[in-house]
Amino acid sequence: MPTPTTAGPELKHIRIDTLTGMAFSTLTSLAIVYATAATLNANGVQDIETSSQAAEALRPIAGQFAFAMFAAGIIGTGMLAVPVLAGSAAYAVSEMAGSLDAKPLSARLFFGTIAATTLAGASLSGFGIDPARALYWAAVVNGVLAGPLIVVMMLIVSNQRAMGRLTAPRRQLIIGWAATIVMIAASALFLGFAAAGKV
């Protein structure tokens, strides 16, 4: 286990991993936005509330292959997202329980959390919950909670008692708090528009 005096290589790997992941996720998000604007919005499709409507919206572009294209996209996205989301939840639960270093055969909590979260997600449609709306509200909740979570993270990384030698330098703290303010302002703006019925 790395200590504050030997964590240099680990921090470097974490930085590379984070920057790479953020770059790919940002490019993917921009590609989705531009593709949606150039196809659905260009054809007058601006209000999609269900999965079937999303598939039907592709018909002007994909014709008879619209539903096959939509299904391929959903399956591909699911194969990418489900392991990441279920795995991250499992790591969080296991870490809180203090069993993150358990052997694979004895990590029942870890794999149990993966199974439970995967089954919970798969059963949403059985309870009459539309997956498209669930994804929308999940994104809203994540966005609103991001501000307070970043505040907590900034307080931790600036606390020398908690971080020791790895306390964030002044430049990173300035950038971090600036990003926090922007995130909270964006959430407040969204909630204001939502209250006014504009979203």
Q: pTM of this prediction?
A: 0.61
Q: What pLDDT is attached to residue 175?
A: 93
Amino acid in the structure at residue 195: A
Nearest to 146 by CA among 113, 176, 110: 176
CA distance linking residue 70 with residue 56, whole number of Å: 9
Q: What pLDDT is attached to residue 199?
A: 64
pLDDT tens, per residue, the chain with 199 residues: 444 455 667 778 888 888 898 898 888 888 878 877 777 777 676 677 666 777 776 777 777 787 787 788 777 777 777 777 777 777 777 666 655 555 656 667 777 777 887 787 777 767 777 766 777 787 888 888 888 989 998 999 888 888 887 788 889 899 999 999 999 999 899 888 888 876 6
How is residue 52 written in tokens? 């079937």
Start-end of H helices in 40-65: 51-57, 59-62
Q: What pLDDT is attached to residue 176?
A: 92
User: Following DSSP, what letter does each residue of 121-182 receive, concatenated?
Assistant: HHTGGGGT--HHHHHHHHHHHHHHHHHHHHHHHHHHHT-HHHHGGGPPPHHHHHHHHHHHHH
Q: What pLDDT is attached to residue 1?
A: 45
Half-sphere exposure of residue 138, counting CA atoms within 13 Å on the CB side? 10
Q: What pLDDT is attached to residue 8?
A: 67
Burial of residue 22, with CB atoms counted within 10 A of its CB: 0-12 exposed, 13-18 middle, 19 or more buried: exposed
Cα–Cα distances (Å) from 17 to 6, 71, 150, in that order, read 19, 30, 19
Residue with tokens 């052997």: 103
